[in-house]
């Protein structure tokens, strides 16, 4: 390890993984919802594409922020800190 910033980056990635682990049941729900939207966009012709209608989500799917924060920490913030720590 070259610097303390890389150690902080590793800790941020671990914190992100912890957040993702806490919301592991919601990952499949959001992946299924994304695939439904993606498939419906492939079925419609290009000239008839409309904005998707607002969908009312189930009440037990409130951990979206935790999921997005965990993904942001694991995929963006943590690796940037590790890279900067190894560079400087």
The three-class DSSP label of residue 73 is helix
User: How many structural domains does the chain have?
Assistant: 1
**39 located within any domain:** yes
Q: Supply the range of the domain harboring residue 80.
A: 4-44+60-87
**8 located within any domain:** yes
Q: Whole-angstrom Cα distance, residue 4 to residue 1? A: 8
Q: Is 5 a residue whose pLDDT tops 60?
A: yes
Give the pLDDT band (50/70/90) at residue 82: very high
**67 located within any domain:** yes
* Residues 9-66: tens digit of each pLDDT: 999 999 999 999 998 888 888 888 888 888 877 876 666 656 666 566 555 556 788 8
- What does the pLDDT read at residue 55? 60
3-state helix/strand/coil string of 74-87: HHHHHHHHHHHHHH
Average pLDDT over residues 79-83: 94
- What does the pLDDT read at residue 17? 94
Give the pLDDT band (50/70/90) at residue 79: very high
């Amino acid at each position: 390890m070259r610097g303390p910033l890389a150690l902080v980056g590793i800790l941020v990635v671990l914190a992100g993984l912890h957040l993702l682990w806490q919301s592991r049941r919601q990952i499949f729900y959001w992946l299924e919802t994304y695939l439904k939207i993606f498939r419906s966009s492939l079925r419609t012709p290009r000239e008839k594409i409309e904005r998707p209608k607002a969908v009312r989500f189930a009440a037990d799917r409130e951990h979206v922020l935790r999921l997005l924060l965990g993904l942001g920490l694991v995929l963006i913030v943590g690796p940037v800190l590790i890279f900067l720590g190894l560079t400087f």
